Amino acid sequence: MEAIQIRSNSAKKIIFLLIVLSISSLVALMFAADNPSEFNRMQLPLLIINSLSLLVLFGVVFLSVRKIMMDYKKSKLGARLRARMALAFSGLSVVPALLVFIFATDFMNKGLDIWFDADVEDGLRNALLLGRSAMDDQEQKRVFDTANIALSLDGIENIEQQLNESRETISAKQLLLLDQNLQIIAVSTETIGLFAPQLPSLLEVEIAQSQQSWSSLDSSSSDGYTIRVLIPILNFASNQTPLFLQGLFVVDPRLSMLADSVEETYAAYGRLSFLKIPIQYSYILTLLLVVMLALLLAIYGSIEFADRLVRPIESLENKTRSASESNSMLHLPQSDSDEISSLVESFIKAEKEAAWSDVARRMAHEINNPLTPIQLTAERIQKRYASVFKNEELDFLNKSTDTIVSQVEVLRDMVLEFGNFAKQPQLNFEVFDVSKLIDETLEFLKKDKDSFQVLVQHNGDASIEADINRIRQVLNNIFTNTIDALKYESHPVIKITTKSLVHQSNEYLVLEIKDNGHGFDNKLLDSAFEPYTTTKNKGTGLGLPIVKKIIDEHKGLISIKNNKEKGATLKIFFLKAYER
């Protein structure tokens, strides 16, 4: 059972790529926001990428949630735990994300409201009015100047000369004489190139005629701010149609620059004010997109995390079920090396050890009971018929009864080993030197078999705190196995080294036993410490399991591996000081 349907590696890679892409684009969006033109250029592609990621993530999360719900409804094992965990983790991310979104939106809206405060707008408008009133004074003066010129013109003869002199007198940029149909009669211009003067509109001419003057402040991209004045000319003797004098004056550049600045600021504020709602919406949408992405990522992560936690438990259930259905051994699942997996592994190991101990205890009991009657009966048969049979029959009787008795002894040894494996001993801890114990054990074993070479190297203090009898049994079992493995070697060698090691604040004595024997069958190496794993004809398969059990009882560690060249190496990590 899997929480998320999309399991293929390529799909996972695409999702991962999209997540990386969306995070990168969000970061890019954040940096681009500092530069408006860059932001303007990049925003749309980034928005598309993020929207795409959002859609894909939404799809993945939707499928995962649907799968969890379906499993939950079907009451599948682990579904309830997975659903609860996913819900809890998602809840932990959803609530803060929503809170952040609500508060950020609120702060943003308030910030924008402060930005567009009425006082700011009034201040800007007042600045505009102030500037305009300063311009009004200049405008009135220019109306007065132009009106005086209009009064001083005394006829159409030499009109251009009159206009030139007058323009210079009043410092106008241009003086223009035109009729009511906007036909130019004469023009005087400060700049020679300025041949395309802006003509007044008919409406402006009408106003000038009815009100005796018309004036306006104007702006152009070339001259900055200008004042245009239009005055009707009344005193021409030959006036058939009304004539008008238009004066064009350039505003003082400093004043023009200040006016420009005020106008630009006012316009910029007006633009922002007009776009306030779209700005608000776009910021909220961007924030929403970011929050949604973060949220979906968190939910997806929560589901994935819950899935990883529950997977070993599911695996345990599956293995247990398949083992019970097929009456086969319960093999450890090859799962991730996290705590939950280790816990499951330990649980399986404990179950297995308990089961084996129970089997060993029952076997010891069941085998031990008939052994004594068998042995006694064999001895009685031998005694009773020793006087009856002669020669060959007697030999046969003696051999047969001896075989029975010796095999009973073998069985008794086996029962003893089963008993040792099954029993829960009371450990008597004491501090002793392992190197001495090694020497004793080897001495005992070499009495019969002195045909192998032993190289011993003790590096430093080799004392530990342990049950000396149990450790003696460990060494006995190991060396017996090692000597057996060297039986057919021409130059058998056993290398024994001890050294101290500190690991995670625990001080260990490391005992390494290396031989050049036949080593372990690679198929059996993984299960070397499991009961009844043996390649020997007469072995019980309990030697190494007993060693492992004793080392576990002492909270030590044991490992075994085949050497690259030949033989095997066994390592035991003894705690130097046992922690109760």
The angle formed by the CA atoms of residues 510, 515 and 517, to the nearest 5 degrees, is 150
Q: Contact between 275 and other proteins (CB under 8 A)?
A: yes
CB contact set of 256 (below 8 Å; sequence gap of 6+): 224, 225, 250
Closer of 252 and 465 to other proteins (Cβ)? 252
Exactly one of 270, 370, 373, 425 binds other proteins (CB under 8 A); which one? 270
Enumerate residues 451-480 that contact other proteins by CB under 8 A.
none
Closer of 280 and 368 to other proteins (Cβ)? 280
Exactly one of 236, 269, 385, 432 binds other proteins (CB under 8 A); which one? 269
CB 176 within 8 A of CB 190: no
Q: Contact between 287 and other proteins (CB under 8 A)?
A: no
Least distance (Å) between residue 273 CB and other proteins: 6
Q: Contact between 211 and other proteins (CB under 8 A)?
A: no
Q: How many angstroms separate the CA atoms of 10 and 32, rounded?
A: 32
Q: What is the Cα gyration radius of the chain? A: 52
CB 495 within 8 A of CB 442: no
Q: Contact between 266 and other proteins (CB under 8 A)?
A: yes
Exactly one of 5, 220, 328, 369 binds other proteins (CB under 8 A); which one? 220
Of 35-43, 71-79, 159-167, 300-308, the window that binds other proteins (rule: CB under 8 A) is 35-43
Exactly one of 5, 152, 198, 459 binds other proteins (CB under 8 A); which one? 198
What tokens does 83 get? Answer: 């659903």
Count of residues binding other proteins (CB under 8 A)?
42
Site string (99-128) toward other proteins, x via CB under 8 A: -----------------------------x
For 168, the 3-state DSSP assignment is helix
Of 75-83, 109-117, 181-189, 195-203, the window that binds other proteins (rule: CB under 8 A) is 195-203
Residue closest to 575 by CA, chosen among 479, 498, 495, 463: 463
Q: How many angstroms separate the CA atoms of 299 and 63, rounded?
A: 12
One-letter amino acid for residue 77 of the chain: L
Q: Contact between 374 and other proteins (CB under 8 A)?
A: no
Q: Contact between 285 and other proteins (CB under 8 A)?
A: yes
Exactly one of 6, 21, 170, 217 binds other proteins (CB under 8 A); which one? 217
Identify the helix (H) or strand (E) that includes residue 246: strand 243-250
Least distance (Å) between residue 220 CB and other proteins: 5
Residue 169 CB coordination number (10 Å)? 12
Least distance (Å) between residue 209 CB and other proteins: 17
H/E/C letters for each residue in 414-449?
HHHHHHHHHCCCCCCEEEEEHHHHHHHHHHHHHCCC
Q: Contact between 252 and other proteins (CB under 8 A)?
A: no
CB 143 within 8 A of CB 149: no
Contact residues toward other proteins (CB under 8 A) are: 36, 39-40, 43-44, 47, 128, 131-132, 135, 196, 198, 201, 203, 216-222, 225, 259-260, 262-263, 266-271, 273-275, 277-279, 281-282, 285-286
